[in-house]
């Protein structure tokens, strides 16, 4: 009996040792699920709402301003807000504060006659007006106007007439916007514009003082509105997926969930928003938890993305590195660079702001992953530098937020979504690429160590393959030892001009 127990123990030790020696290129990743989040209502984080069914005392809850001599009649009928006017009228109905990174939605039952409906953002004598021009429920135009400029059409032409009944979705993106209409199928892009930076809506004084109004202009017509909402949303695509970690690179497991930063996609490079999501790694329940903005102490809140956020347990501080894509909102005036970010407050939930500062890593550099290497007593960043295409490099410093020098790389392969992961007690570097492979490198010297095995990668023969690997090793007790959450690079249809609006998210378990 003793010999049998000893044999079992020796066999268990052998298997544990063999398992511990498994290399990343020997792990088999099997796809578990895929989903594309498109303005998911059950994921929205509410900021404000105008809900006619629950209004008692509309003059106090949602006061109206009548801008012309003729005043529209405002009533609530069958749980709908009804505005009626036989002559030209302009009405602004208050329903919330202002957030230039939120999604605004009007659920429109009908607009008969001639008129416009949309949103007004106003304060301190300034105004921004975003409306759709409608005649008997058919879309004629999309108009954008500010205090500094006359109204202009920003309509994206449609192949067929658009019956405007349904949802009008305004995705505010800091330095621009996209307007959608949704009745059935995918929401359709019907308008888009970049803002005049002479009236920067990211300015903190405007965020603090502007109000959001439901705006209706009628010319012998009637508008019937089911509700209006202002919320933080998933947008129509997610990308740049990276686990939130501890300072040494270990995944930050909290409440039984992994935590991720993802870029909530907008349109072009300066229009994305840094989202925070969580997921129980044993299932596929990805959940929007909040968004993070970044304050460089210049009066603006910036929507940087492709961040790596970590919790520094030694100082009880949330820190990280982000990529300064907001520089593209002011081309020629600002430089793209990496930024060091920090917050004492937990930034994972709701609407959060982290302090941000340059630290000397300037240029076409992106996708940073930072960790503190306890053995080397060094801070190290794995990132991508555009040197005849993006290539992975390792930077090193004695300090988390200054004094970095390049110590490895560039690698020869195209690189994207660079990350450092501990596999069976040893750090490895991972990178997506344009070569239909996810490359594995040794740490910290970036020697090639194989490629990732996947049964169904997040691309096909027609798709761009520069994805983010995000391999995480789970503690003992999970039904699998590795999990990876990746995205594809299929852009959202209907955008005009530069378009970085991918993608769907893919879950893999590694065995």
Do 127 and 217 belong to one domain?
A: yes
Does 32 fall in a domain? Answer: yes
Q: Phi first, then psi: what are they for 345, rounded to 5°?
A: -80, 140
d(CA 379, CA 133): 55
Residue 214 lies inside a defined structural domain of this protein: yes
Q: Is the pLDDT of residue 12 over 80?
A: no
| Mean pLDDT computed over 323-344 | 96
What pLDDT band is residue 4 in, cutting at 50, 70 and 90? very low
What is the CATH number for 347? 2.115.10.20
pLDDT (mean) for 449-470 = 96
pLDDT digits (tens, 9 = 90+) for 200-245: 999 999 999 999 999 999 999 999 999 999 999 999 999 999 999 9
What confidence category does residue 21 fall into, taking pLDDT thresholds of 50, 70 and 90?
Answer: low
* Residue 92 falls inside a structural domain: yes
Peptide linkage before 47 cis (omega within 30 of 0): no
Residue 8, pLDDT > 70, answer no
For the chain, give percent helix, strand, coil, nearest 5.
Answer: 10, 55, 35
Q: What is the mean pLDDT of residues 106-113?
A: 97
User: Would you call 511 exposed, middle or buried from its count of C-beta atoms within 10 A (0-12, 13-18, 19+)?
Assistant: exposed
As a whole number of angstroms, the distance between CA 102 and CA 177 comes to 10
**pTM beyond 0.85, yes or no:** yes
The reply to whether 403 falls in a domain is yes
pLDDT at 11 over 50: no
The answer to whether residue 7 sits within a structural domain is no
**CA separation for the pair 305, 368 (Å, rounded):** 11
Q: Give the contacts of 51 (CB within 8 A, at least 6 positions apart).
A: 227
What confidence tier does 166 reach under pLDDT thresholds 50, 70, 90? very high
In the chain, pLDDT over 70 holds for what percent of residues? 96
Q: Show Cβ contacts of residue 430 under 8 Å, excluding neighbours closer than 6 positions.
A: 24, 417, 418, 419, 420, 421, 438, 439, 440, 441, 452, 469, 470, 471
Angle, CA 471 vertex, CA 322 and CA 243 arms, to 5°: 35
| 160 neighbors 170 (Cβ within 8 angstroms) | no
CA pair distance 407, 8, nearest whole angstrom: 46
Evaluated on CA atoms 187, 189, 191, 195, the torsion sign reads: positive
Q: Is the pLDDT of residue 10 over 80?
A: no
DSSP β-ladder status, 126-135 and 103-123: antiparallel
Question: Does the pLDDT at position 103 exceed 50?
Answer: yes
Cα–Cα distance list, 161 to 115, 134, 181, 193, 495 (Å): 17, 11, 12, 21, 18
The answer to whether residue 16 scores a pLDDT higher than 50 is no
Q: Is the pLDDT of residue 19 over 50?
A: no
Average the pLDDT over 250-260 and give the result: 97
One domain for residues 226 and 363: no
Helices marked H in 158-255: 204-209
Q: Do 80 and 150 share a structural domain? A: yes
Q: Do 252 and 356 form a contact (C-beta atoms < 8 A)?
A: no
Distance CA 17, CA 4 (A): 20
82: CATH: 2.60.120.200
Structure confidence at residue 22 (pLDDT):
80
In a domain, 161, yes or no: yes
**Are the C-beta atoms of 147 and 126 separated by less than 8 Å?**
yes
- Mean predicted confidence (pLDDT) in 170-193: 98
Query: HSE on the CB side for 46, CA within 13 Å?
Result: 9
Name the one residue in this structure whose structure tokens are 């929205």.
44
Phi–psi pair at 384, nearest 5 degrees: -115, 130
Residue 59 burial (10 A CB sphere; 0-12, 13-18, 19+) = exposed
Domain boundary among 232, 249, 282: 232
Q: Which helix (H) or strand (E) holds 264?
A: strand 258-264
As given in the structure block, the two tokens for residue 36 are 């594309």
Backbone angles phi, psi at 270, to 5 degrees: -85, 10
Contact between 218 and 72 under an 8 Å Cβ cutoff? The reply is yes
Residues 240 and 297 reside in one and the same domain: yes
pLDDT digits (tens, 9 = 90+) for 482-511: 999 999 999 999 999 999 999 999 999 999
How many structural domains is the chain composed of?
A: 2
Within a domain: 20? no
User: Chain-wide mean pLDDT for the chain?
Assistant: 95
What range defines the domain where residue 197 resides? 45-232
What pLDDT is stored for residue 13 in this prediction? 38
Whether 197 and 262 share a structural domain:
no
- The residues, ordered by sequence, that sit 6+ positions from 334 with a Cβ below 8 Å of its Cβ are 324, 326, 327
Q: What is the mean pLDDT of residues 438-464?
A: 97
Domain boundary (207, 232, 257) is at 232
With pLDDT > 90 as the criterion, what percentage of the chain qualifies? 95
Residue 38, φ and ψ in degrees, nearest 5: -130, 95
Report the pLDDT value the prediction gives residue 387, as an integer from 0 to 100: 92
**pLDDT surpassing 80 at residue 7:** no
Based on the domain organization, do 31 and 91 belong to the same domain? no
| The domain boundary residue, chosen from 209, 232, 255 | 232
What number of CA atoms fall less than 13 Å from residue 172's CA on the CB side? 25
Listing from the earlier edge strand, what are the strands of the sheet with 482-487? 453-454, 28-35, 505-510, 482-487, 471-473
Are 280 and 215 part of one and the same domain? no
Residue with tokens 């994305």: 272
Rounded to whole angstroms, what are the CA distances from 276 to 38, 236, 288, 307?
Answer: 16, 15, 6, 10
Place of tokens 């970085």: 500
Q: How far apart are CA 337 and CA 357, in angstroms?
A: 10
Same domain, 188 and 202: yes
| Whether the Cβ atoms of residue 508 and residue 492 lie closer than 8 Å to each other | no
pLDDT of residue 258: 98
- Dist CA 312 CA 43 (whole Å): 29
Q: Residue 73 CB: number of other CB atoms within 10 A?
A: 12
- Rounded Cα–Cα distance for residues 13 and 9 (Å): 6
Please state, in angstroms and rounded to a whole number, the distance separating the CA atoms of residues 277 and 457. 22
Residue 5 inside a domain? The answer is no
């Amino acid at each position: 009996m003793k010999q049998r127990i000893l044999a079992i123990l020796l066999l268990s030790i052998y298997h544990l040792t063999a398992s511990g020696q498994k290399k990343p290129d020997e792990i088999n990743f099997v796809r578990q699920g895929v989903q594309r989040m498109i303005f998911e209502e059950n994921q929205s984080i509410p900021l404000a709402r105008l809900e006619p069914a629950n209004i008692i005392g509309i003059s106090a809850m949602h006061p109206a301003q009548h801008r012309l001599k003729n005043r529209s009649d405002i009533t609530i009928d069958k749980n709908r807000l009804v505005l009626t006017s036989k002559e030209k009228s302009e009405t602004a109905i208050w329903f919330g504060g202002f957030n230039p990174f939120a999604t605004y939605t009007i659920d429109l039952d009908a607009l008969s006659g001639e008129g416009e409906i949309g949103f007004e953002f106003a304060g301190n004598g300034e105004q921004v007006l975003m409306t759709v021009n409608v005649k008997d429920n058919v879309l004629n135009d999309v108009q954008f106007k500010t205090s500094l400029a006359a109204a202009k059409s920003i309509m994206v032409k449609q192949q067929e007439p658009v019956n405007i009944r349904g949802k009008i979705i305004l995705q505010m993106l800091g330095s621009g916007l996209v307007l959608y209409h949704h009745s059935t199928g995918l929401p359709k892009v019907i308008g888009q514009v970049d803002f005049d930076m002479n009236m920067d809506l990211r300015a903190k004084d405007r965020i603090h003082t502007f109000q959001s109004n439901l705006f209706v202009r009628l010319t012998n017509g009637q508008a019937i509105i089911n509700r209006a909402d202002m919320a933080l949303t998933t947008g129509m695509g997610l990308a740049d997926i990276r686990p939130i970690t501890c300072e040494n690179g270990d995944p930050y497991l909290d409440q039984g969930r992994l935590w991720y930063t993802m870029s909530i996609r907008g349109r072009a490079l300066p229009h994305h928003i840094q989202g925070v999501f969580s997921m129980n790694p044993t299932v596929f329940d990805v959940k929007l938890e909040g968004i993070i903005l970044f304050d460089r102490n210049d009066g603006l809140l910036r929507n940087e993305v492709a961040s790596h956020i970590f919790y520094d347990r030694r100082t009880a501080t949330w820190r990280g590195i982000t990529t300064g894509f907001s520089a593209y909102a002011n081309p020629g005036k600002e430089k793209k660079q990496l930024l060091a970010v920090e917050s004492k407050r937990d930034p994972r939930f709701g609407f959060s702001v982290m302090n941000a500062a340059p630290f000397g890593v300037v240029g076409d550099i992106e996708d940073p992953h930072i960790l503190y290497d306890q053995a080397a007593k060094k801070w190290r960043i794995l990132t991508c530098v555009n040197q005849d295409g993006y290539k992975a490099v390792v930077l090193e410093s004695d300090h988390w937020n200054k004094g970095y020098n390049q110590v490895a790389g560039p690698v020869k392969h195209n690189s994207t979504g660079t990350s450092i992961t501990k596999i069976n007690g040893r750090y490895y570097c991972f990178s997506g690429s344009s070569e239909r492979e996810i490359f594995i490198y040794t740490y910290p010297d970036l020697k090639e160590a194989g490629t990732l095995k996947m049964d169904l990668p997040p691309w096909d023969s027609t798709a761009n393959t520069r994805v983010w690997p995000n391999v995480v090793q789970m503690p003992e007790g999970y039904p699998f030892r590795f999990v990876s959450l990746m995205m594809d690079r299929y852009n959202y249809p209907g955008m005009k001009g530069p378009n970085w609006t991918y993608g769907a998210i893919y879950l893999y378990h590694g065995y």
